[in-house]
Structure 1
């Protein structure tokens, strides 16, 4: 399968590292003009430089904007008012240890609301702008990067799981709103991935326990995701491959779907 996105413009939020960074590079390799987004100019400029080094002919630009705020989304839209592809990737999590229900009860309002603003409302606000334009031109792709935590709610990250479930509802609703227009809207559900947030957490755990990162990740899977069929953390490119496919012409019959790249963690047939 050859995915050719020449002539398409893609925006990937939260794309200075991790899954977003791998997705931006994957879309660039497929020929799309890509807008990289992050919170600071320094991180955006470095990501743009890295992608240009690996994909010399890439059409890459960057926009620094905090997608957790309405003002930040407006800044992105002002800098890049049109797009054929929107990947709502930006997100974060609070990784905590879990000892009992008191840990959940102690999660403060600002953690719940902060994650909701970043993980959910960033995508709602961006999609609200770009989706009608895509429908008007008769082609477009929107992808929400959710998580297996959307359907396999982690008790140690309940606030995060809530936002990822909300993304599935939002994705399906937007998909139904543009039915028959040539625009597709899907969600992608990664599992444990060696990305910036979880990868850095595992590296710190490994250092604290004087073990390798692979050993720390195996311990995490055994304790927290024992149903994994993959038996290891995914790498960001493996997730990005699914996202790039969902953005392609070849994925034209896939819409309103939750596409799983979670290594079989979720014990569900369907």
Structure 2
């Protein structure tokens, strides 16, 4: 199986922690030179130091910029004009009852979760098409299909990502560029750890994250077949495969790493 990404340059947005960090390391392990993205120099430099300590043979570089804004994307693209692999991972979420979500929150979630990927894909994919090879991956969520009542605005953005991903795949059909989405289930990243504690409230005292995760799955995602949160590395492995030469016949797909939460067979 050809998983070699030697000589390829990748950009993983929102990669100073969580799933993005795991993806950056996984791509570097396959030989890619990986741009680590975050909003501040301090966060990016800290992540780079950590990644270089963990993956001593990996090649990483700073890709500082706020991809949630048009100006931030423009500045990042100016500093990094071309990539072979784009992983649109940046995203935000929060539990909030539907009737308490103001217009500003709907707009903010759409800008961060959807428009960041739209703008970056629009900037980088034409160069991939011209070169005859490229990979674009959107990190969506099982919440794109199984809309969570506790954060409808988040689910809406993840559904939108699936539409953008499929439409872009059709746009570049036959070019050597593949475009896919990955649908993680609840995954034990730093952000989800904070989310679990927020959801649990006072009952979080004395409970470890694994136990909180199992409680969350049992109460809110009871259809899970693994009965636990996914690990960051499990999601990153799927993304690394999609970015590799081995996945050259996979495009326009939405691949699940959801632990079986989604019950449909398609």
Q: TM-score range by the shorter chain?
A: over 0.9
In 2, Cα distance between the equivalents of 1:212 and 1:151? 29
Is 1:237 matched up with 2:233?
yes
Any idea what the Cα deviations from partners look like across 1:209-248, whole Å, max 9, x if unmatched? Answer: 1222222112111111000001100110100000000000
Unaligned runs of 5+ in 1: 97-102
TM-score normalised by length of structure 2: 0.96
Q: Does 1:108 align with 2:102?
A: yes
Q: CA deviation at 1:207?
A: 7.5
> Given the superposition, is the C-alpha separation of residues 182 and 2 from structure 1 closer, same or farther in structure 2, using an over 3 Å criterion?
closer
Q: What residue ranges of structure 2 are gaps of 5+ in the alignment? A: none
> What secondary structure is seen at the aligned counterpart in 2 of 1:35?
strand
Aligned-residue offset at 1:2: 5.4
My pick for the range that moved more, 87-96 or 159-168, is: 87-96
Count of aligned pairs between the two proteins = 264
3-state DSSP of counterpart to 1:269? coil
- CA distance in 2 between counterparts of 1:95 and 1:206 reads 12
Shift of 1:29: 0.7
Q: How does 1:48-67 map to 2 (within 5 A)?
A: 48-67=48-67
216-225 or 149-158: which moved more?
Answer: 216-225
For 2:87, the equivalent position in structure 1 comes to 87
Q: Is the 8 A contact 2:2 2:245 kept in 1?
A: no
* Structure-1 residue corresponding to 2:10: 10
State whether residues 218 and 227 of structure 2, in contact with CA within 8 Å, keep that contact through their aligned partners in structure 1.
no
1:150-169 maps to which residues of 2 (within 5 A)?
Answer: 150-169=144-163
Q: CA deviation at 1:202?
A: 2.1
Counterparts of 1:187 and 1:220, CA distance in 2: 25
- TM-score, normalisation: structure 1: 0.95
Aligned 1:164-203 pairs, distance under 5 A? 164-203=158-197
Which of structure 1's runs of 4+ aligned residues deviate more than 6 A?
A: none
